[in-house]
Amino acid sequence: MVLDKDIHAELAAIVGLANIDDSDAMTDVYAYNWCMEVVNQMEGKDPVPYSPRPLAVVLPSTTDEVVGIVKACNAHGLTFKAQSTGLGPWNNPSTDNCIILDLRRMNKIVLIDEQNMLAVVEPYVSGAQLQIELMKLDLNCHMPGAGPQVSPLASATSMSGPGFTSPSTGHSSRNVLGVEWVLPDGQVLKLGAAGLEHEPGWYSGDGPGPSLRGIMRGLHGAKSGLGVFTKVGIKLFPFPCKVNWKVTGLSPHYQFEKPELMKWYIVDCKTYKSAEAFVQRVEEHEISFICSVLSNFGVSAIFASSIESLLGNAVLAMTKVPVVVLVAGRTRREFEYKTKVMQCIIEEDGLENMAGTKFEPPSISYAEALRSNLGLHGFIATGAFQSSHGIIDTLGVCLNATKKNIPVKMKYINNEQVANDFGEAVWSTSFEHGHMHHAEMLTLYDQTNPECVKGIADYFNDCNAMDLVQHLGIPFFIDGDARHDWYGPQCSNYNTWLRKIKTALDPACTADAGFYISPEKASNTTRNEKV
């Protein structure tokens, strides 16, 4: 499809001519994304990394401009898809009549409220940008596993949101406070304290009246399927330790002055049972800044800067069920308490801390941990990975799923369709030191090899089926009509309710529903999936 000239002019009048582009060259770039080839393969399409091409890309700079674009889409029967930093296929259109709203020009930190420990940000503020401002006030923000370059707003409003620092900084879905939300019909809805008539603020995400947080984002977010979020208030946390942020050396061999009150623990628990007991004790005492169960491949990756250093970490490569814990203290007394407790747990559990004895974590790993840059290390080995499952449950369930996933993955490893990690790759973390954990099983593959793409797509389908049959919860990639309608009947018919929400807020399906759910009797959804 080609964008009608009059509609182009209408959109250009809203954002300015320099901020709209409908050339094939531009729109094709916006049709591309990481893992889009896997989505296409899973939907029975060509395994190419491209979605349908948007009709145009527009760059609004204000909420009013977003409203104008959304209203224009409604008036002309077009769909729209909003994206912030844009990583992942969820940012892509599922129809061929879609306008992309790239929110890059909405990039302001609106407010940092030190006393109430909250910040209000626009969509294109990155986690690192926000953190650097917060550090001046000795505060920190949560960043998702995708890294510090992505949008905290997108994670808080529209996606899942576990991160490496989740034990101490929570989960994006739980950190969201007041929200400014452009609904699919162009109305602006302010949720939480932002919606108060008198003395509005951003300090609460619930009310006025019944809370709509669950409707707004639920567990995994609507991925722009319910409109556009233009501002969000998010919870802040104390910065975990004093730090002199000075990175020296030249890329990729950076060094960092190790914070005095910070210490890595790398503990090989050998068995999942032992790891479960160990992590539960660590989290029970609320002493970790980071506490992750990994595989030997994973632990090697987060301390590596290249494939050579990854494969050269022989000591880490020999671990069976490694758990990495980063302990930090704001005062010496706090740090000493935490490290004493750690030592006590390690000794009582008959374990050993490899960090500082058998393996010296590079100094830059402290900076990367503080900046939540560890997830990006997953790309070092093959240049591509994706996670399956995405379980949120107790640690026991998460690790049980990890164990059960091994034979599922081994089938594809034996077919040489995914990289051989012995089927064990996992990243599991608590959030808020609580009993609930997140677990995702990382899989390395070659996105340019159709056989590998087919393999990982089949593997993801097997993982989704496993989660359903084994009662492991709703995984990451249950999105779109076909998957929701497959899962829903087994899970309290949640799909019916999800569809009712979509129908109530967007009966014409103007907000692209490809990674959410279509309303009843919609004509705008063209995503024809097979499960």
Q: Where are the alpha helices (DSSP H) in 124-212?
A: 127-135, 152-158, 166-169, 172-175
Residue 28 makes contact with another protein by CB under 8 A:
yes
Site for another protein in 88-117 (CB under 8 A): 88, 102, 104-105, 109
Shortest approach of another protein to residue 314 CB, angstroms? 13
By CB under 8 A, the residues from 36 to 55 that bind another protein are 48-50
Amino acid occupying residue 101: L
From the list 63-71, 163-171, 188-196, 366-374, the region that binds another protein by CB under 8 A is 366-374
Q: How far apart are CB 158 and another protein at their closest, in Å?
A: 16
Q: How far is CA 152 from the centre of its chain?
A: 9
Give me the sheet containing 20-21, strands edge to edge.
Answer: 20-21, 56-58, 98-102, 79-83
Residue reference for tokens 């409203």: 67
In degrees and rounded to multiples of 5, residue 304 shows phi and psi of: -105, 160
Question: Cβ 370 to another protein, closest distance in Å?
Answer: 9
Measured from the Cβ of residue 331, the count of other Cβ atoms closer than 10 Å reads 11
Measured in whole angstroms, the distance separating CA 400 from the mean position of its chain's CA atoms is 23
Select from 54, 68, 147, 161 the one that contacts another protein (CB under 8 A): 147
Segment lying near another protein (by CB under 8 A), choices 191-199, 221-229, 444-452, 462-470: 444-452
| Exposure of 183 in the CB half-sphere (CA atoms within 13 A) | 16
Among 139, 354, 364, 513, indicate the residue that binds another protein (CB under 8 A). 364
The footprint of another protein on residues 472-531 (CB under 8 A) is: none
Compute the least distance from the CB of residue 372 to another protein, in Å: 9
282-311 positions binding another protein, by CB under 8 A: 305-308, 311
Q: Binder to another protein among 447, 464, 510, 525 (CB under 8 A)?
A: 447
8 A C-beta contact, residue 96 and residue 139: no
Backbone φ/ψ region at 441: left (φ over 0), alpha (ψ -120 to 50), beta: beta
Given the complex with another protein, which of 74 and 160 has the nearer CB atom? 160
Count CA within 13 A, CB hemisphere, residue 179: 30
Q: CB-wise, 86 or 195, nearer to another protein?
A: 86
The least CB distance from residue 87 to another protein, in Å, is: 6
Only one residue has tokens 């009843």, namely: 520
Task: Show contacts with another protein in window 379-418 (CB under 8 A).
Answer: 379-384, 413, 416, 418
- Site track for another protein across 48-87, x = CB under 8 A: xxx------x-x-------------------------xxx
Task: Single out the residue of 122, 368, 481, 529 in contact with another protein (rule: CB under 8 A).
Answer: 368
Which phi and psi angles does 140 have, rounded to 5°? Answer: -140, 160
Asked if 30 and 82 touch (Cβ cutoff 8 Å), the reply is no
